[in-house]
Structure 1
Amino acid sequence: MEGTTWAALTAALTVAGAIWTWIAFRRRGAANGLRALGFTLLPAAAWLTGTLEMVVEIAGSVTDWATGLVFNIFTWTGIGLAGLAAVLFVVSGFIRDRQLGRARAGKAAGKAAGRTGTSAGVASPKKRGALPSSSGAAGRSPIDDEMADIEALLKKRGIE
């Protein structure tokens, strides 16, 4: 575009801004009118500094990029693959959580069977409210021992 075209664009934007400024002063007061005046002066400042041409070139480049994005089959294929990857990550997380939950449930069932005292079909008598001893806890972690103590306290209170 030529310099006269840029000048005409600047003049049109400034006149539109001046009308907006006048309406803002009349309807909303001085604060809004001064803000509108500041916006009105921006196109003239952008034209005088050469920034107006740069902004138009940037807007044109962004438009070209967006048009290429919308109408390019390879781009949509890439977006589809990215969506599929995201879905696979989410599904694998759910599956992993279910597997961990099943493993924990299996361990808890094994511990519950071990705590009942049934060994080779012979049941050992248990006193009501007795806490498990830590003598058989050589292979377990301290966290498991603490959880066993907490479960025993809950059972003692009648909460199962």
Structure 2
Amino acid sequence: MPTQMPFEGLLLGAALTVVGLIISWVVWRRRGASAGLRAVAWSLLPLAFGLVGLMGLLASLAGQLVRFFAGLVLDPLAWAGVAVAGLAAVLWTTGRLLRGRRGGAGRPAENEKQPKAAPGRPGSPAVGGAEPGKSTPAAGADDDFAEIEALLRKRGIS
């Protein structure tokens, strides 16, 4: 348990909270109570961080990130790492696109053997999804649809 409160972190948290509460008031007036209450909740977080003692840690983290990105700009080895990460992202995206075109499972022969499910009915075969040459009407189909299916089969469209 800390015996001494970091006064600078508490002051910074309080100042950020006051600024956030002013912005929250504007948000409340323009967008209503719901958005205003959410903005007040976000505004109270810097004060909470200051009271807990996390403001120094957050300031240190922000400083480290600034140093990292400033060093990244001038380091050719870091740019090589960024290029490799970009290449990995392009390859991953290309692989996903190719997988989507093949049908997803990677085994097109198996996908063709299984009848496709009708929309809205998982597990039931789609109209015309039966094996060629078999003339079984879809389960629960009306007589009108059975006549249409028979006409389509007669003309070789299934």
Structure having the larger proportion of residues in helix: 1
TM-score (norm 1): 0.44
Pick the structure with greater CA Rg. 1
TM-score (norm 2): 0.45
Structure having the larger proportion of residues in strand: 2
The structure, 1 or 2, with the larger RCO (C-alpha pairs under 8 Å, 6+ apart) is 2
